[in-house]
Amino acid sequence: MLVLTCPYCGVAAEETELHAGGEAHLKRFGPGASDEDFTGYLFGRENPKGVHFERWLHANGCGKWFHAARCTATLELFGTYSAQLTEPPEPIRKAISAKRPGWRWREFS
Amino acid sequence: MKRYSAFAVAREAMTYHQGWERAWRSPEPRDAYEVIVIGAGGHGLATAYYLGREHGIKNVAVIEKGWLGGGNTGRNTTIIRSNYLQDPSAAIYEKARALYEDLSQDLNYNIMFSPRGVMMVAQTHHEVRGYQRTAHANALQGVTTEFITPERVKELCPIIEINGPRYPVLGALWQARGGTARHDAVAWGYARKCSDMGMDIIQKTEVTGIRQKNGVVTGVETSRGPINCKKLCIVVAGHSSQLAEMAGFRLPIESVALQALVSEPIKPCMDVVVMANTVHGYLSQSDKGEMVIGGGTDGFNNYTQRGSFHHIEETVRALTETFPMLARLKMLRQWGGIVDMTGDRSPILSTTPLGNTFVNCGWGTGGFKAIPGSGFAMAELVARGEPGPLAAAFSLGRFTEGRFIDESVAAGVAH
């Protein structure tokens, strides 16, 4: 079972306490955007086998959304961070680089 | 290829069964093929088979990273049904079900198709209305289903508790010609016929890159060297996003783990397939006597082929209320497969931004039942370069055009 530490309340929350919210840091497109951009935002996903940044809701806890960096191939957790950040912070990137040298994920690597 | 028959068994018995040949060849890859299919699961092999049978294209290679039928084809709960709400879904799944009916004869390979009947029990009033609507839709689509009473449910499946306090059975959507088949045999049967037609099935060979020139595919890089092709067909379920990345486009797919489990074998007690969508579980009894139980998917991206334990717990907890006798059973095995989920829970059979490259994916939690229909429709798409009537609605373009085939709303969880 996944255990993610909520960066807001500090609780090491088990998977049953959380709700997965899918890929994080999506670039949003709205009115005026091209059909391709809008489709990409709504449906296109990285879906990597490896390092993945995603959103989680501490549903049966403090109720806050937060971000997590996780490996989808091993279920390893690299860390969690605030939902207010628009990209993964330096400590998270370093934690990933230490275990997955040469990792890449969009423009964040 | 030696034909399988009762006479063949008798003939081979004369030589102590030493004369049987291998069901399919394991050749070295050639330099080039007309069509390369990536993925030797049910869908990939069926695509190759119908390319040969329907369109006369036999210069085909099927490349497989692991072993033939070792992915989701060997991991599902083998249920076959076509009682879908939306017209395009009903058409392709009913085509598949109809092809399953005589697939054993067609392939000369016993796939053990058992049209024992599939019932989807309604345990809330919302589900009753939903399934009645589906039954009416099926009548218009030419799919034979009916909405049956709780008494009829009990008659067909005596071990079910229809008066449970939390999950009473209020009726069911019954498809008498649905059922199960031996999942491995479907892959093996197609592989044997493909090999017999001269197609190469190349196992333990991973595709590591896709070669292109001027926006058109020219071949693939593999762990055993480059292979050229005129057309490429990507049929790799959970790993579709990785192959799409190699080809230079993105798919509206997320890969998650779906689990199933089987109990210890018991005497025959249930000769139908029961799906209970309210409690996220589906159940049938295998020929060996094991109760085969399918569960729900995890909510997060996952490639580990194992799922979260709490989903098993939820499935079993709810099923034991609907089937009280299951509470005494020990569970033998649990496993997971990586399923490719689309936003509308319908598959993608489509051309792609890369020329002469086609993709068949997004079958999510319900691909096994569709194998023959999917292969048939995909072969038509690959051979002609444009979709036929079965595949047309399942194009990638539907996500841009908002033309969804929304089975997630229509069917709840299980597909």
pLDDT on residue B53: 97
Read off the tokens for B63: 């490349």
**Tens-digit pLDDT profile for residues B125-159:** 999 999 999 999 999 999 999 999 999 999 999 99
User: Mean per-residue pLDDT for B109-124?
Assistant: 96
| Residues in contact with B213: Cβ distance below 8 Å, sequence separation at least 6, in sequence order | none
| 8 Å CB contact of A74 and B304 | yes
User: Mean per-residue pLDDT for A22-36?
Assistant: 93
ipTM of this predicted structure: 0.93
CA B149 to chain centre: 29
pLDDT interval class at B407 (50, 70, 90) = confident
Choice between B280 and B184, residue whose per-residue pLDDT is larger: B184
Portion 336-375 of B in contact with A at CB < 8 A? 342-343
User: Mean per-residue pLDDT for B63-87?
Assistant: 95
pLDDT interval class at B299 (50, 70, 90) = confident
Q: Please determine, for residue B321, whether its predicted confidence score (pLDDT) is greater than 90.
A: no
pLDDT on residue A109: 62
CA A18 to chain centre: 13
User: Mean per-residue pLDDT for B320-345?
Assistant: 92
In this structure, the dihedral spanned by the alpha carbons of residues B173, B176, B180 and B181, taken in order and rounded to 10 degrees, is: -150
| Residues in contact with A41: Cβ distance below 8 Å, sequence separation at least 6, in sequence order | A26, A27, A28, A29, A33
Q: Please determine, for residue B259, whether its predicted confidence score (pLDDT) is greater than 60.
A: yes
| Residues in contact with B193: Cβ distance below 8 Å, sequence separation at least 6, in sequence order | B49, B52, B107, B108, B109
| 8 Å CB contact of B303 and A36 | no
Distance CA(A4)–CA(A56), nearest Å, equals 9
Q: Could you tell me the domains of chain B?
A: 28-78+183-252+344-414 (3.50.50.60), 115-179+255-341 (3.30.9.10)
> Residue ranges per domain, chain A?
3-28+46-99
Q: Please determine, for residue B237, whether its predicted confidence score (pLDDT) is greater than 60.
A: yes
Angle, helix B371-384 to helix B42-55, in steps of 10 degrees: 50
pLDDT on residue B43: 98
CATH class belonging to A3-28+46-99: alpha beta
Q: Does the CB of B402 have a partner CB in chain A at under 8 Å?
A: no
Distance CA(A60)–CA(A66), nearest Å, equals 14
* Closest C-alpha among B345, B384, B386 to residue B367: B345
| 8 Å CB contact of B303 and A72 | yes
User: Mean per-residue pLDDT for A60-83?
Assistant: 96
pLDDT interval class at B52 (50, 70, 90) = very high
Q: Judging by beta carbons within 10 Å of its beta carbon (0-12, 13-18, 19+), is residue B349 exposed, middle or buried?
A: buried
Q: Please determine, for residue B114, whether its predicted confidence score (pLDDT) is greater than 80.
A: yes
| 8 Å CB contact of B308 and A74 | no
pLDDT on residue B412: 47
Contact B298/B219 with Cβ under 8 angstroms?
no
